[in-house]
Each structure stands twice: as structure tokens, then as C-alpha cells.
Amino acid sequence: MSVREDHWKEGGVFFCSFTCYKWLPLFERADMYDWIHDWFRRLHAEHNRLIGYVIMPNHLHMLLLVPEGTSVNKLLAEGKRFMAYAIRKRLEAGGHEDLLAVMAEGVRNGDAARGQKYRAFETSSDIKECWSETFLHQKLEYMHANPVSGKWSLAEDPALYPYSSAAFYERNAEPMVPCPCSEL
């Protein structure tokens, strides 16, 4: 999932994914679902539009419409930075010393010199611009299928997985966070 490319586009829809360090189930063990939903609301308040999402135990996928002149890289970097602090605090409060030890081992020398004590995420995010409606729908279906895939089996139906926008699309259910699908 390694993409080191800045995306400064005059508006656009982006498929974004990022992964917890070593694929650790940090979102699940730190119970970050509410925090991530709040982050989505903050993105919406800043005029970004969440088209769809799924929060898995160790990674996140989202389709995000960003306004003109906004760097999707900057949005993700800032979100991940604050998310990392929240993960650490919640893991400490929950006594998850095993995960904190693994995260501490992942800190690179340069980051340690700047005071970083834990590594919460893999270095890069996967960011792809959605150039067509077909590609956008493909990514939406892909991410909504994640929780029901054989590896995960977190729900029997994508719309039943609570940390996803699938129910909004499949059942017209009220979304937990603003989904602007009707705005598009």
C-alpha cells in the first residue's frame, strides 16, 4: 500500500486507504471507531465530502471528495497524526502493553530523535484519484465487501457491518456520519 505521491488537485474524488503498523488491530483494540467517525464529521465540517467508508480492525478505506486546492495527503497526514495520539492514549488506558511494545519497536531513528515513542501506522497511504464513475463504484463495492470477505467474516452482509457506509447505500439507512451521496 505504498504511495509516495502528493495529490494537489483542483478538487476531486480520492480512494484512500491506510493501515495500522504491522497490520495490528489497533482500531479494534483501542476502540477507535467513535474517534474515526468524529474525524469524518470534522472533514465534513471542513467542506470535504465522504462518499463511502469502511473501518476495519487494522485498516481504513474511504472515498473522499475534496474541494479545490485541498491536499488529500495533508488531510490524511493530519488525521493519522492525531489518530496515533488517540490510539496510544486508549491503549495505555486499556493496559495493552503488548501492542504498545510492538509499536515502540517500530519507531525509526529519525522519528525517535523528534520525540516519537510509538508507531501507529505503516509509512505510506494508498491514494488513488477516481477518474471515472466506474472506478468509483468499483472501489465502493470493494471496500464494502471487506468485512464479509473470507479472511474477516465480520458480518454476513455488508450492510450489517456497523463501521461502514454500506447500509446507507443498500438500505437507505441513516448514516453514522455525513455521507453526501445524495449531494453528488
In the block, cell 495493552 appears at 96
How many structural domains comprise the chain?
1
Per-residue pLDDT 10s for the chain (184 aa) are 444 454 445 578 999 999 999 999 999 999 999 999 999 999 999 999 999 999 999 999 999 999 988 899 999 999 999 999 999 999 999 999 999 999 999 999 988 889 889 999 998 899 999 999 999 999 999 999 999 998 899 999 999 999 999 998 888 766 666 655 444 4
**Amino acid code (one letter) for 117:** K
Residue found under cell 485541498: 70
In-domain check, residue 137 = yes
For residue 31, being part of any structural domain is answered with yes
What are the phi and psi torsion angles at 120 (to 5°)? -95, -25
Question: Which structural domain range is residue 155 located in?
Answer: 8-183
Domain for residue 51, yes or no? yes
Would 3 be classed as within a structural domain? no
* Length of the chain, in residues: 184
Prediction pTM value: 0.89
The CATH number linked to 50 is 3.30.70.1290
Question: Is 108 within the bounds of a domain?
Answer: yes
